[in-house]
Amino acid sequence: MIQSWRLRATMVAMGVLLAIFIGRLFSLQILQGELYLSLADDNRFDRVSIAAPRGVIYDSNGSLLVRNLPAFNVYVTPALLPDSEAEIEAIFVKLAELTGVPLDQPGPPAAACVAGRGIRQLVEEGETNRPFDAWPVACDIDETTARILRQQQIDLPGISVEAVPVREYPTGYLTSAVIGYLGPIPAAQVDFWESLGFVADRDKVGYGGVELNYQDILAGQNGLKLVEKDVAGSLLAEVGPGNPAVPGNNLKLTIDTRLQAIATSALENRMEFINRVAGDVRTTIGAVIAMDPQTGEILAMVSIPTYENNRLSRFIPEYYFRQLFEDASKPLVNHAISSVFPPGSSYKMVTAVGALNEGVIDANRTLFDAGQITIQNQYFPNDPGKAKEFVCWKEDGHGNVDFLRGIAWSCNVYFYKIGGGFEDEVPGDGLGIQLLGVYARALGYGSRLGIDLPGEEDGLIPNQDWKRLNLGESWSTGDTYNSVVGQGFVGATPLQVLTSISTIANGGRVMWPHVVQEVLDGEGNIQHRYEPCVLWDIADGVLIEDTSQIASGCDSMDPELRENLIAGYSVSPDITVAPSVLDLAREGMRLVVEDEEGTANPYAVLDGISSGGKTGTGEFCDETAFKRNLCEPGNWPSHSWYTGFAPYENPEIVVIAFVYNGSEGAITSGPIVKQVLEAYFELKAIDAAR
């Protein structure tokens, strides 16, 4: 017989246990029900990203520069392969035969579609990590092979073929410096891009040019769909409507591909000619830019050497990228905006405008050029051996030179005197290094101009403080003489030199240079148009302390781009350049071309079209020249520059040509600019006749 106390104890224990179970059940189902339901749903459902179609890019005439094409990839889902090893082997052999991927080739783990591993190794890696995910084993197969595999899919369980969009660049290397290319999301930036909805191992982002600078506009917004999976990760069904992907917008550029092709051909042919005549590879770097001086629209932009962006569109071959990266001529760099060189005599227009505007020189007054001037060393005035000679490019000099002929003949001695002073002829320091810097910045030197392409450089406008801080030396008159003719420490990009001449040609307006004209939706409707934007007007006062004046009327400019421009600009004192000064500067540049002794005559004379321009021959001694023993004292190699605009009376186009180690500006670069200018007016006539 069971004792009553034991029965009571058992019933109490059972009651306590029941209360515990009920309490736990209440806690799980009621108090924490939403939490565990959420956890269960997380295991049950998965959010799958839907790739957004990337926008395409057109040139100014509506020709496609970038488009999306389907690339066919072959995937293996390990969990869906047959159970029989013999069947799996037969499938792998069939894949190897059709795709060309090795059946068995061990290799270290790498990104998808990188050569070096076999099908077995790729499938084993996928089976180990996520067996129900589709793993790529062959990428960018031809369409015929894709069709064969799709037709035979019933006999190839676990194998799938998918079409994924890839970029195609119809103009290839012709526009790659402007367009750029796409690449995988860098490992260091995965968190950033994933926070924006991108998928690190699938989506690509811009790596250069317009593809990079307009990434947000072109990329669109990835979508999301909710799918239900079983405990093994196998897809069961889609749940709910999800969020559809938003396609990226399209871009219409200011670039005219026809003019781009002509500019590229003109530069390539001239560089090839120089190398052929020299019997050596004398030059490997060059740039051409054509711009509308009234709007700032870039009509053509060429950088040589360049690269073939189609070779980077599917995936980036390691050997090709290393070849580009290690090339001393830097083909991945847009030399038109990202390389800094001594501008040589092109910079004399800064000195000319500044000296005339400040009253250092009268336009009609002549200064004598005997071929050289000598300045005494201030610490050893009686020691001729310490004196320094500064020579003109014309050994016997130009004789009496006034303002217009100083520009037309590019007389060094004339500019030495007005820029740095000389004895009693031009008392004091002439224009002086400080005011030279003021006018250089006013004309677009020394800071980025905010072009809507990545990698723009600032250039360099040196002065006493710069030399003291960077070299620990005091400034000298000789430094000023070098600076006024664009030598010494002065450095500029081709875009800055182009802008300086354009500013004088259009009457004083520093225009915002840009390559994108319109943002379009998928139906071709204009979403945004980049209107002409005056950064500042040197004939209407140039900045004083308040950088907010920069591009103050440019409502169409991207706000972030404008903020970056303001942040990078060095404020200059307030100046106003008289219209008469700009008129005389333009007249001097007309004589550069039309005067019989003008430095660009006859190399840049246009048939039936008036024009103006400025030559430049910038001496240099960089690391490459030094290694080739080219830096001979008194006989340094020189870069070739020429910037021309036309028509002279109302300029529609301004073009600059730069050739690294190209020697004289007129002889080498003049014919390039001439060819581009003539082509522009021919194309204009053709378009008007349609």
Any idea where the domains of the chain sit in the sequence? 258-689
What average pLDDT does range 279-288 have in this prediction? Answer: 94
Lowest mean pLDDT among 208-217, 290-299, 513-522, 545-554: 545-554
Does pLDDT of 590 surpass 90? yes
Answer with the residue of higher pLDDT: 28 or 160.
160
At 651 the pLDDT is 98
**Residues 627, 629, 630: CA angle, nearest 5 degrees:** 110
Buried b vs exposed e over 385-416: b needs ≥16 C-beta within 10 Å? eeeeebebbbeebbeebbbbbbbbbbbbbbbb
At 542 the pLDDT is 66
Residue 373's identity, in one-letter code, is I
Answer with the residue of higher pLDDT: 141 or 579.
579
CA dihedral 254, 260, 263, 266 (to 10 degrees): 180
- Report yes or no: 511 and 483 within 8 Å, Cβ to Cβ: no
CB proximity list for 373: less than 8 A, separation 6 or greater: 389, 390, 413, 416, 417, 422
CB proximity list for 242: less than 8 A, separation 6 or greater: 50, 223, 224, 225, 226
Range of 108-122, 198-212, 373-387 with top mean pLDDT: 198-212
Lowest mean pLDDT among 327-331, 381-385, 449-453, 544-548: 381-385
**Residues 131, 241, 47: CA angle, nearest 5 degrees:** 30
Sign of CA dihedral 78, 79, 80, 86: positive
Does pLDDT of 33 surpass 70? no
- Tell me the pLDDT tens digit for each residue of 165-218: 889 999 999 999 999 999 988 889 989 998 888 888 788 999 999 999 999 999
Using 50, 70 and 90 to split pLDDT, how confident is the model at 153? confident
- Tell me the pLDDT tens digit for each residue of 548-561: 667 776 777 777 77
Kindly state the DSSP code that residue 61 receives in the 8-state scheme.
Answer: T
Using 50, 70 and 90 to split pLDDT, how confident is the model at 234? low
Does pLDDT of 45 surpass 60? no
* Count of CA atoms in the C-beta half-sphere (13 A) of 231: 0
At 200 the pLDDT is 83
Buried b vs exposed e over 428-446: b needs ≥16 C-beta within 10 Å? ebbbbbebbbbbbbbbbbb
Lowest mean pLDDT among 79-83, 416-420, 543-547: 543-547
**Percent of the chain with pLDDT strictly greater than 70:** 89
Does pLDDT of 103 surpass 80? yes
Does pLDDT of 349 surpass 60? yes
Give CA separation, 577 vs 31, 120, 597, in Å: 78, 74, 28
Kindly state the DSSP code that residue 249 receives in the 8-state scheme.
Answer: P
Computed over every residue of the chain, the mean pLDDT equals 87
Tally of residues, the chain: 690
Does pLDDT of 566 surpass 80? no
- Tell me the pLDDT tens digit for each residue of 238-254: 666 678 889 999 999 99
Q: Whole-angstrom Cα distance, residue 672 to residue 263? A: 7
Lowest mean pLDDT among 93-107, 425-439, 593-607: 93-107
Does pLDDT of 378 surpass 80? no
At 380 the pLDDT is 43
- Report yes or no: 456 and 209 within 8 Å, Cβ to Cβ: no
CATH of 258-689, one of 3.40.710.10, 1.10.10.10, 3.40.1550.10, 3.20.20.70: 3.40.710.10
Q: Whole-angstrom Cα distance, residue 210 to residue 65? A: 11
Using 50, 70 and 90 to split pLDDT, how confident is the model at 35? low
Does pLDDT of 162 surpass 80? yes
Does pLDDT of 434 surpass 70? yes
- Report yes or no: 651 and 680 within 8 Å, Cβ to Cβ: no
The strand pairing partners of 204, in sequence order, are 184
Does pLDDT of 43 surpass 80? no
- Report yes or no: 518 and 251 within 8 Å, Cβ to Cβ: yes
- Report yes or no: 176 and 209 within 8 Å, Cβ to Cβ: yes
Using 50, 70 and 90 to split pLDDT, how confident is the model at 345? very high
Q: Whole-angstrom Cα distance, residue 55 to residue 309? A: 17
What average pLDDT does range 614-631 have in this prediction? Answer: 85
Q: Where does residue 114 rank: exposed (0-12), middle (13-18), buried (19+ CB within 10 A)?
A: middle
CB proximity list for 482: less than 8 A, separation 6 or greater: 488, 489, 490
What average pLDDT does range 422-428 have in this prediction? Answer: 91
At 232 the pLDDT is 47
- Tell me the pLDDT tens digit for each residue of 627-648: 777 777 777 889 999 999 999 9
Instruction: Give the residue from 682, 603, 670, 592 showing the smallest Cα distance to 288.
Output: 670
Lowest mean pLDDT among 76-85, 112-121, 166-175, 512-521: 112-121
At 385 the pLDDT is 46
At 10 the pLDDT is 77
Answer with the residue of higher pLDDT: 522 or 45.
522
